[in-house]
Amino acid sequence: MTIHLITGSDPRLLSDKVSDITRELITSMATKESRSTILETHDAGAPSSEERESAIRKAVASAETMSLFGEERVVVIRNISEATVGELSALVAYLEHPADNTHLVVSASGKLAKIVSDALKRAGATTMSTVPPNKRQELITWFLEKFGESGLTVDAAALNEIINWLGEDQARLPGLIDILVSTYGTSKKLSSEDVMAFLGEQGSVKPWDLTDAIDARDSPKALEMLRRMLRGGEFHSLQVMAILHTHYSKLMRLDGPEVHTSLDALALIGGKSEFQGRKYLTQYRRMGSSAVMQAVHLLARADIDLRGGKDLQEELTMEILVARLCHMGTSAHATNRRR
Tell me if 136-196 shares its fold with 207-333: no
136-196: CATH topology: Helicase, Ruva Protein; domain 3 (1.10.8)
Separation of first and last alpha carbons in the chain: 65
150-159, 168-177, 179-188, 292-301: lowest mean pLDDT where? Answer: 168-177
Q: Which one-letter DSSP state was computed for residue 307?
A: I
Alpha helices in 109-261 (DSSP H): 114-122, 136-150, 156-166, 173-184, 192-196, 207-215, 219-231, 237-253
Backbone angles phi, psi at 133, to 5 degrees: -70, 160
Closest CA to 316 of 306, 330, 326, 327: 306
d(CA 260, CA 302): 33
Q: What is the mean pLDDT of residues 107-132?
A: 93
CATH level 3 topology of 3-129:
Rossmann fold (3.40.50)
User: Do residues 25 and 2 lie in contact, with contact meaning Cβ atoms separated by under 8 Å?
Assistant: yes
| pLDDT range class, residue 332, cuts 50, 70, 90 | very low
3-state secondary structure string across 18-64: HHHHHHHHHHCCCCCCCHHHHEEEEECCCCCHHHHHHHHHHHHHHHH
Q: What percent of the chain has pLDDT over 70?
A: 91
Distance in angstroms (rounded) separating the CA atoms of residues 20 and 22:
5
CA distances to 22, 177, 216 from 148, rounded to whole Å, are 19, 10, 35
- Average pLDDT of span 50-55: 92
Beta strands in 225-339 (DSSP E): none
pLDDT at 333 over 50: no
pLDDT of 5 reads 96
The contacts found for 81-85 with CB under 8 angstroms, 24 or more apart, are 81/108, 81/109, 81/110, 81/111, 81/112, 82/44, 82/45, 82/52, 82/109, 82/110, 83/44, 83/45, 83/52, 83/53, 83/56, 84/49, 84/52, 85/113, 85/115, 85/116
**In the predicted structure, residue 337 carries a pLDDT above the cut 80:** no
Residue with more model confidence, 202 or 209? 209
Within 8 A by CB and 6+ apart from 315, the residues are 227, 230, 237
> What average pLDDT score do residues 198-213 get?
81
Let me know the angle formed at the C-alpha of 199 by 194 and 205, rounded to the nearest 5 degrees.
Answer: 135
pLDDT at 334 over 70: no
Amino acid at 93: A
Q: What is the DSSP letter of 305?
A: I
Predicted local confidence at residue 298, as pLDDT: 92
* Topology (CATH) of 207-333: Zinc Finger, Delta Prime; domain 3 (1.20.272)
Average the pLDDT over 226-233 and give the result.
81
Give the start-to-end residue ranges of the domains of the chain. 3-129, 136-196, 207-333
